[in-house]
Every structure is written in C-alpha cells, then in structure tokens.
Structure 1
Amino acid sequence: MAIISLPSRQELALMGVTLFWGGTFLIVHVTLRHCGPLFFVGLRFMTAGLIGCTVFHRALRRISLTEMGAGMAIGITIWAGYTLQTYGLQTISSSRSAFLTALYVPIVPLLQWIVLHRPPRLMNWVGIGLAFGGLMLLAGGGATQGGFGRGEWATVLCAVSVAAEIMLISHCATLGDSRRITVVQLLVAGLLALLAMPVAGERLPEFSWIWIAGGVGLGVGSMFVQLAMNWAQKAVSPTRATIIYAGEPVWGGAIGRMANDLLPATSVLGACCIVAGVLASEIRLPARPEPRK
C-alpha cells in the first residue's frame, strides 16, 4: 500500500521559500518601470548581503576558503539567474515569467542523475512528468501574447541557471556553515550585478521610493530565503526540492491574477497539473519483498 509522508521541517521551509518567490514576480515587474535590471539585482542582493554581514559578523570571522569558494560558485548562478529573469520581466508579464522560470523543474533531476548518479524514484518521475506537462501548458497558454521573444528566451536561460543553483546548493551546503556560505553568495551576486552595469551600458536610475522599497524589501527577504535554502537542502535532495519549488508559478500566477493578469484556460489546467505533480511526489510506494532463497 502506498504511503503519503508528512513534510519535514526542511520541506516546510522550502514551501515557504516557494510562496515568497511567487509573490516577488509582480513586485519586480512593477519596480523595473523605475530602474534597470542590473541595478535592481545589485541593490537587492547587496542589501541582503550587508544585512547578513551585520547579523552573522561573529560567524564570518571563522570563514574558510572552502566556504568562500562554495559561496562564490552559488553566487554566480544567483547573479545569472536573477539578472536574466529581471531582464525578461521588462517585456513579459509576471505570470508568464513565473511559469517559464519554473522550467528548471525537469532540468534538475536530470542534472542530478548525470552529475551525482542519483536516479529519481518512480513517483519522482511521475511528479516531474506532471509538473513538466503543466509547465508546457502554462508556457503555451501565453502564445497569444506575442510568441517567444527576447524576454521569454532570457527567462528560459534563467531556468537553466536556477537548476544549476539548486544543484550547487545541495552539493555545497554540507561543506561548511550555512550562514557564512549564504552571506558570500549574496554579496557575490550583488557585486557582479553592479559591476556589469557599465559593461551593459546601464545607468543609475533617478531617485524613486519605488525602487528603494522594492530593492531593499526583497533584499531582506532574499537573505532569509537563501539561508533557508542552504539549511534545508542539507536534508532535502535536489529532486525533492525541485518538486516543491514547482509550486512557484502557481503562486506567481495567483498573485498576478489578483493584479488583473488574466490567464487562459490552458494555464489554469497547467497549474492544476503542477499541484498534482507535487502531491504525486509525496507518495512512497512500498518496497518489493525480496524473494526467499
């Protein structure tokens, strides 16, 4: 008989991360009307990193080269993912961005299989398949909004970066203190974004309380989110974490809907498939009894 297990503390933390992510798409979409993407990413993660330095300043005194390297590697993927996502949000809706970003769902277990040689369980595959089908319906539901342009392709590349980030976090989280690794990755992501501004020809924006509120507010949230991810993924596999993260576009779409970001019927069906995928991944099939010799 199949068994449905209750989520652990770590899994509940990742569910909270997913809810936070779903709510950020609309905030970023609005904030980008007042500043450039690189500046926003830089402000967001430098704020998060500086808060981390203040809160964990004693722990940072004992930072090791291994923790520095782990934080820098994760920080590069965070910078790439959020910069591409923020760039895409300049031209596509928050709901569409949420759906396309979540394409990392089928990418992570494949990377885990190839890199870590950990094949997903049967019900993981079922959950992945349902989530992937739902994402295709969600992405296809936006075809009437102008097809695939630069914003969409940037968001797809963002999904690849997010998959790499999840893999790195699972690999690096056990290499040292989560607090020190988190602070390094936040500072690296923010610094890379600010350094890339002159290269991309992006100028400093005019003063606005909107980009201050959006950047600083999400910066505070990002510090807790990355800390939670580094802590939780010590005990949660990349495949399991990815299935939980698959709920992100559902929350993003729901919040976008409240802001009159209407979704077609295919997108609603896709959201239902993702929820079904998350539930399917919770099912534990009984092990086959070994034959008697």
Structure 2
Amino acid sequence: MKIKNKAMAADLGLVVTTVIWGSGFVAVKNAVDTVPPSYMIAMRFGIAVSLMCVIFFNRLKKIDWDCVKSGIILGVLMFIGYYLQTIGIQYTTAGNNAFLTAVYVIVVPFLYWIIRKEKPDGYNIGAALLCIAGIGLLTLRSGFSMNIGDTLSLFCGVTFAAQIVAVSILTEKNDPILISFTQFVVTGILALVVALFTEPFPTKMNTNSILATLYIGIFCTLIALVLQTVCQKYTPPARASLIMSMESLFGSIFGIIFLSESLTIKTFFGSVLIFLSIMISEIKPSFLKLEKESAELPDSTK
C-alpha cells in the first residue's frame, strides 16, 4: 500500500475514533452517578488491558524496554489529562470543560515545532483557529469566566497536546499495539492508586452503569485509543489533533439523538466551522504539492 493510501486510511481511522469518543459522552453520563472518576478510569483501562492480553497474547511477548519507556511516558500523560478533565468538570460547566480541553488543537503544532523544529504554516494556524472557534460555538452555552475548574481544564488540554505529539514521535520506531498496551497498563495503575487513596469504592453500580462502563472500556478505550495510536503513525500531529477535535461535534450529535438535547443555530455553525477546518487541513497537502511541482518545472521561455 502506498504511503498516500496509508495516510488517507489513517485519517479515516481517526474520524472513526472521534465518532466512538463522541458516543462515549452518553455512556459516561450513565455511569458517573455510581462510579467515582478515578475508579472509572481504572476500570476502563483495566478492561482494555485484559482484552488486549487475550487478543494480542503472542504479540505482547515482543515487548521490549523501549516499548515500556514509551508506555510510561504516554501513560503518565494520559492519566494526568483524564484526571484533570474529570476533576475540572466538577468546578466548571461541561461546555467550558470541553472547550478548554480542546485547546490542544492550538498547542499541538507549536509544541511539535519546539520539539522537532518543524514550523507550522499558515494552513495549520488558520485551521486550528477556525476549529477552536467552532468548538467554542458547540460547547459554550452561557458566558465564559475562569475559575479553578477552567484552569484545570486548560492544563488538561495542554497535557493532551503533549500526549498527541508524544504518540506521533514514539510510534515512528515502535509497534503501536505494544505501546498502546504499556500505556494502558500505566494509566490503569496510576488511576487505581489514586482511587484507592482518594475515593470510595463503587458498591452501588446498577445495570446501566455496568453496561456503560463496559462500553467505555471496550469501545472508547481499547478500540478508539489503539486506533488513535496506530493511525497517528501515518498522520502528522497537527492534522491528527484537528481530526480528533471532531469528538465535540459527534458528542453534540449523539447528545441530540440520545439525550434529547436541542439543535441550535450555534451548534450548526460550530459544526460547519469544525468541518471547514478539517477540509483546510486535508486539502493543504495537495495545494503544497502542486506549488512545489510548479516551482520545479523548467521555464520554457528561457
């Protein structure tokens, strides 16, 4: 398969990831009343690790120290991101939480520039700004003011930006499946340790919360995060962050379908802006390629 086809397939895979994450908002809403935040994180990653042991048993025998080191880095970043997001939403609105978390769309290109010395171009910056405006329309419902929850959500977005960039770099020379496994183990262990010392054990889980937790563990964690890690091997981090920001779009769509949330003018135009930002990101390589080829053509008038 050509690299171009791999890149297209990777972008499509990231879109599927965001669809799953978007549906996860409904599942989380059905589980948070009976499962404390850190236990939820520990359970979802525990389910993912258990299933990966069964599905990739022979492959996991190839784990080496490089995979372990990569998994520790990604696992720590992922746990911090999820934990800050979960704690932050307790002190701010869901809209502010989602909007500030999505700041990774802006941070990723510049963080990658700092680490890899690859300067973001006008397309990257324009698409990111357009995307963050769309997410703002989707998520911000009643004004905006900074408090402790907003601050935690902002740091969450920066942490997720670091995680996205780290995935892009660490999957260049490592098996994405093995990195995903070690990342899940580290995240789950950290969540369990925090849960045991700070939260009551969930003893009143009902059928809905159990089914929701299973869905989050299997689909939103195992399938979606493995897919993210594999696809980011073939997608530049700036474009990957834009595509993954569609989580807020699909979250709104599933909220309208399953939670009877209303479709507003803001939701519509926010969705349009996010879609346009993705299109700018996707079309950009074609324009750049044409410009490069035009520059390389010999001048017949000379």
Identify the TM-score tier after normalising by the shorter chain: 0.7 to 0.9
1:202 partner amino acid: E
Conserved in 2, the CA contact under 8 Å of 1:66 and 1:175? no
Q: Aligned partners of 2:254 and 2:151: how far apart in 1?
A: 23
Q: 1:194 — aligned with what?
A: 192
RMSD: 2.5
Residue 265 and residue 257 in structure 1: after superposition, are their counterparts in 2 closer, same or farther (change >3 A)? Answer: same
Q: Aligned partners of 1:111 and 1:34: how far apart in 2?
A: 38
The number of residues matched between the two structures is 286
Q: 2:245 — aligned with what?
A: 246
Instruction: Tell me the alpha carbon deviations over residues 35-93 of structure 1, each in whole angstroms, 9 at most, x when there is no partner.
Output: 21001011011111111112112112221100111111111111111222233444666
Q: How does 1:114-125 map to 2 (within 5 A)?
A: 114-125=114-125
The offset of 1:7, in angstroms, is 6.7
Q: 2:204 — aligned with what?
A: 207
Q: 2:153 — aligned with what?
A: 155
Q: Aligned partners of 2:134 and 2:47: how far apart in 1?
A: 35
Residue 261 and residue 147 in structure 1: after superposition, are their counterparts in 2 closer, same or farther (change >3 A)? Answer: farther
Q: Aligned partners of 1:241 and 1:274: how far apart in 2?
A: 13
Q: 1:127 — aligned with what?
A: 127
The offset of 1:267, in angstroms, is 4.5
Q: TM-score, normalised by structure 1?
A: 0.87
Q: 1:85 — aligned with what?
A: 85
Residue 125 and residue 177 in structure 1: after superposition, are their counterparts in 2 closer, same or farther (change >3 A)? Answer: same
Conserved in 2, the CA contact under 8 Å of 1:50 and 1:187? no
Is 1:233 the counterpart of 2:232? The answer is: yes
Conserved in 1, the CA contact under 8 Å of 2:79 and 2:191? yes
Q: Aligned partners of 2:149 and 2:29: how far apart in 1?
A: 12
> What is the identity percentage for the equivalent residue pairs of Structure 1 and Structure 2?
28
Q: 1:287 — aligned with what?
A: 291
Q: How does 1:5-84 map to 2 (within 5 A)?
A: 8-84=8-84
Q: Aligned partners of 1:181 and 1:211: how far apart in 2?
A: 29
Residue 95 and residue 28 in structure 1: after superposition, are their counterparts in 2 closer, same or farther (change >3 A)? Answer: farther
Residue 150 and residue 206 in structure 1: after superposition, are their counterparts in 2 closer, same or farther (change >3 A)? Answer: farther
Q: Aligned partners of 1:265 and 1:96: how far apart in 2?
A: 18
Conserved in 1, the CA contact under 8 Å of 2:85 and 2:97? yes
Residue 210 and residue 86 in structure 1: after superposition, are their counterparts in 2 closer, same or farther (change >3 A)? Answer: farther
Conserved in 1, the CA contact under 8 Å of 2:78 and 2:160? yes
Conserved in 1, the CA contact under 8 Å of 2:138 and 2:252? no
Q: Aligned partners of 1:160 and 1:263: how far apart in 2?
A: 30
The offset of 1:232, in angstroms, is 1.1
The offset of 1:143, in angstroms, is 3.0
Q: Aligned partners of 2:64 and 2:216: how far apart in 1?
A: 28
1:11 partner amino acid: D
Conserved in 1, the CA contact under 8 Å of 2:176 and 2:229? yes
Q: Aligned partners of 2:19 and 2:98: how far apart in 1?
A: 12
What 5-or-longer segments of structure 2 have no aligned partner?
Answer: none
Moved more, 229-238 or 151-160: 151-160
Instruction: Tell me the alpha carbon deviations over residues 251-289 of structure 1, each in whole angstroms, 9 at most, x when there is no partner.
Output: 112222331334664454333211111111122323151
Q: Aligned partners of 2:147 and 2:30: how far apart in 1?
A: 20
> Does the residue aligned with 1:255 lie in a helix, a strand or coil?
helix
> Does the residue aligned with 2:53 lie in a helix, a strand or coil?
helix
Q: TM-score, normalised by structure 2?
A: 0.85
Q: 1:176 — aligned with what?
A: 174
1:280 partner amino acid: I
1:186 partner amino acid: F
Q: How does 1:270-285 map to 2 (within 5 A)?
A: 270-283=270-283, 284-285=286-287
Residue 43 and residue 270 in structure 1: after superposition, are their counterparts in 2 closer, same or farther (change >3 A)? Answer: same
